[in-house]
Amino acid sequence: EAQVTQNPRYLITVTGKKLTVTCSQNMNHEYMSWYRQDPGLGLRQIYYSMNVEVTDKGDVPEGYKVSRKEKRNFPLILESPSPNQTSLYFCASSLLAVSYNEQFFGPGTRLTVL
Amino acid sequence: AQSVTQLGSHVSVSEGALVLLRCNYSSSVPPYLFWYVQYPNQGLQLLLKYTSAATLVKGINGFEAEFKKSETSFHLTKPSAHMSDAAEYFCAVSEEYGNKLVFGAGTILRVKS
């Protein structure tokens, strides 16, 4: 089944404890992206990757890191999480980095930072 | 920068009634527009997209949307609401270069029996 998977689905952690949220797609997509969803704000892009080894900042990159060493994986790293990073996170992918391509979303990771 | 405005954070309709969810965008060039639906505890699923081929776009589950350039709108409609339509709906515009989606704040649709 073609899909985007994320792990973990739920995570509660404490301030300053490094964490990684994994994202993997099995559709051979070039483009991958991370969004965070907050009530009343919709989804905002954190980082994106046009292809392997190519990443760039989105609208809200502060406090996050990413890497794209393989085409299928795009992990999101929080080196020192803070309570304002409590949010619902979505990974997405699309075949190519062009404006008309549909993005496929993972099931989401709900993160709580205490 | 492009932006999307969804009027009404919550919309309530009766089962069988018309569904109308409003979306207005700002863009200096003809945009690519999308409607996504999010069911509880799930990711986003594409309902439909506008890519300039036709102004009336039909999507899944009986939804459709009409692109009106003069009004910079892309409202989502469904003639008859079903209980299973209860979800949050997001309108999004794609940036001209690259593949970044700019989302509206979302509209939660409630369907009453």
How confident is the model over A13-29, as pLDDT tens digits?
Answer: 999 999 999 999 999 99
| More confident: A39 or B97 | A39
Q: Which residues neighbour A72 within 8 Å (Cβ) at sequence distance 6 or greater? A: A24, A25, A26, A28
> pLDDT band for position B28 (50/70/90)?
low
Are B99 and A101 in contact (CB < 8 Å)? yes
Give the whole-angstrom CA distance, residue A19 versus residue A10.
12
> pLDDT band for position B30 (50/70/90)?
low
| More confident: A43 or B29 | A43
Interface test with A, best of B99, B101, B102, B103 (most A CBs within 10 A): B99
Least Cα distance to B33 among B1, B61, B69 occurs for B69
pLDDT (average), residues B42-56 = 89
Are B90 and A4 in contact (CB < 8 Å)? no
How confident is the model over A27-84, as pLDDT tens digits?
Answer: 999 999 999 999 989 999 999 999 998 899 999 999 999 999 999 999 999 999 999 9
Structure tokens at A63: 């406090």
pLDDT (average), residues B29-41 = 87
- Give the closest-approach CA distance of A16 to chain B in angstroms: 27
Are A105 and B44 in contact (CB < 8 Å)? yes
Are B105 and A41 in contact (CB < 8 Å)? yes
* Residue type, position A91, single letter: C
Mean pLDDT for all residues in chain B: 91
Residues of A within 8 A of B44 (CB-CB) are 43, 90, 92, 105
| More confident: B76 or A1 | B76
* pLDDT above 80 for A99: no
Are A48 and B101 in contact (CB < 8 Å)? no
- Give the closest-approach CA distance of A80 to chain B in angstroms: 26
Neighbour-count burial for B68-88, b at 16+ CB within 10 Å, e otherwise: eeeeebbbbebeebeeebbbb
Give the whole-angstrom CA distance, residue B5 versus residue B102.
10
Using CB atoms and an 8 Å cut-off, which of residues 24-83 of chain A contact chain B? 31, 33, 35, 40-45, 48, 50, 58
CA distances A81 to A47, A97, A111, Å, are 16, 29, 10
Task: Give φ, ψ of B85 to 5 degrees.
Answer: -80, -10
Place of tokens 């060039």: B29
